[in-house]
């Protein structure tokens, strides 16, 4: 129901959640509110974050709070994801590659949160989405993504959408998906020289020796003695590995990463000094699928989005979604 030709539209349906008081009606009960705007809608989340959307916004009533849900077309969704996931990394071929990856992921996971009243979230549980980008960047993103928004990556065997994983930086070598969940013929271990000498190619971290040794011993089921302490403080990893082993006891490197919130599973002990373990590592993220910094390096050195996708997702095909 519009109150003028230029205003937002408010569609109200009966319920028990709350009331709208305004010029449209004296007083109306409602359990959800749909806002439709010809311009932009600004939403402030938790009193400090502002998100700007264009189109429709559904405000769903929840016990003690309002759940805003943006209703977006595929191009708007992909543009927002590419903007948020890539941050300052900017190149048309990188945007196209990330958009196809994002579209593929959406096809594989759409409806993941249907039980909560929406398809996907806007955080790391799905794909990050912060609404509209600044005007000039929004226009550039939309121009690039419009050309590929109908494309997705599919398996060679049955043409179904792939598991389109991506991460910030591989450190120079991709990790196979089997080390995290199960084998996929297109998520394999392979060299990735494009991810070397990038801002997030390497990292350093200091931890107390006592904490480091204790956590490893506890999770490996080992006693803390001189031998185990020597093992824990001299870990080396020249190449990517899935596990560490000591006298028949194993631990997944993924477990260590999660326990200490490390940037990656590819790390080693550089030195032990003043009661501190100095870790050095490569990459940022799980290391499976597309490295965003590696893809950016490919783009700025002349590779198009097809070459980027072929490098990071071998044994796949690019298909068109027919609406």
User: pLDDT, tens digit, for every residue of 270-309?
Assistant: 999 999 999 999 999 999 999 999 999 999 999 999 999 9
Helix, strand, coil in percent for the chain, rounding step 5 = 30, 30, 40
Domain extents in the chain: 9-71, 74-198+287-320, 202-282
| Tokens 């050095």 belong to residue | 280
pTM: 0.85
Strands 166-167, 290-291: parallel, antiparallel or unpaired by DSSP? parallel
* Residue 223 main-chain phi, psi, to 5 deg: -80, 150
Digit-coded pLDDT (tens) for 1-27: 333 333 333 433 334 344 343 333 334
Query: Of residues 64 and 173, which shows the higher confidence score?
Result: 173
* Residue 280 main-chain phi, psi, to 5 deg: -130, 140
- Amino acid 12: pLDDT: 38
Distance CA 117, CA 68 (A): 10
Digit-coded pLDDT (tens) for 225-263: 999 999 999 999 999 999 999 999 999 999 999 999 999
Do the Cβ atoms of 122 and 72 come closer than 8 Å? no
- Amino acid 25: pLDDT: 39
Do the Cβ atoms of 289 and 166 come closer than 8 Å? yes
Query: Of residues 125 and 293, which shows the higher confidence score?
Result: 293
Ranges of beta strands (E only) in 63-200 are 65-71, 151-155, 166-167, 173-174, 190-191
- Amino acid 57: pLDDT: 79
User: Which is nearest to 1 in space by CA: 27, 21, 25?
Assistant: 25
User: Which is nearest to 129 in space by CA: 168, 71, 65, 58?
Assistant: 71
Ranges of beta strands (E only) in 1-142 are 9-12, 18-20, 28-30, 32-36, 41-45, 49-53, 56-62, 65-71
- Amino acid 216: pLDDT: 98
Distance CA 91, CA 144 (A): 9
Confidence band for 48, pLDDT divided at 50, 70 and 90: low
Digit-coded pLDDT (tens) for 65-90: 777 788 888 999 999 999 999 999 99
Torsion, Cα 269 271 276 279, to 10 degrees, reads -30
Distance CA 35, CA 89 (A): 33
Distance CA 294, CA 296 (A): 5
Strand partners of residue 320 = 151
Digit-coded pLDDT (tens) for 144-186: 999 999 999 999 999 999 999 999 999 999 999 999 999 999 9
Distance CA 287, CA 172 (A): 9
Q: Please state, as a whole number, how many other Cβ atoms lie within 10 Å of the Cβ of residue 34.
A: 17
């Amino acid at each position: 129901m519009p109150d003028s030709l230029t205003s937002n539209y408010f569609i109200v349906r009966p319920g028990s959640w709350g009331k709208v008081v305004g010029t449209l009606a004296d007083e109306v009960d409602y359990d959800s509110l749909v806002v439709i705007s010809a311009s932009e809608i600004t939403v402030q989340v938790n009193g400090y974050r502002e998100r700007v959307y264009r189109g429709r916004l559904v405000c769903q009533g929840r016990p003690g709070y309002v759940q805003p849900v943006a209703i977006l077309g595929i191009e708007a969704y992909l543009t927002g994801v590419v903007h948020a996931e890539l941050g300052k990394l900017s190149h048309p071929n990188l945007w196209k590659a990330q958009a196809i990856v994002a579209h593929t992921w959406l096809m594989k996971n759409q409806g993941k949160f249907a039980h909560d009243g929406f398809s996907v979230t806007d955080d790391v549980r799905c794909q990050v989405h912060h609404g509209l980008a600044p005007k000039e960047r929004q226009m550039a993103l939309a121009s690039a993504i419009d050309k590929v928004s109908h494309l997705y990556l599919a398996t060679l065997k049955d043409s179904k959408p792939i598991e389109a994983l991506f991460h910030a930086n591989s450190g120079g070598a991709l990790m196979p998906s089997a080390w995290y969940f199960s084998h996929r013929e297109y998520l394999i271990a392979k060299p990735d020289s494009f991810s070397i000498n990038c801002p997030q190619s390497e990292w350093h971290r200091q931890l107390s020796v006592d904490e480091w040794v204790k956590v490893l011993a506890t999770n490996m089921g080992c006693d803390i003695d001189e031998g185990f302490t020597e093992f824990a403080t001299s870990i080396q990893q020249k190449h990517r590995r899935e596990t560490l082993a000591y006298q028949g006891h194993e631990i997944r490197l993924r477990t260590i990463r999660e326990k200490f919130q490390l940037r990656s599973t590819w790390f080693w002990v550089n030195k032990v000094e003043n009661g501190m373990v100095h870790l050095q590592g490569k990459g940022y993220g799980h290391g499976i699928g597309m490295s965003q910094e590696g893809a950016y390096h490919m783009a700025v050195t002349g590779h198009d989005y097809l070459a980027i996708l072929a490098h990071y997702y071998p044994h796949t095909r690019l298909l068109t979604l027919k609406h």
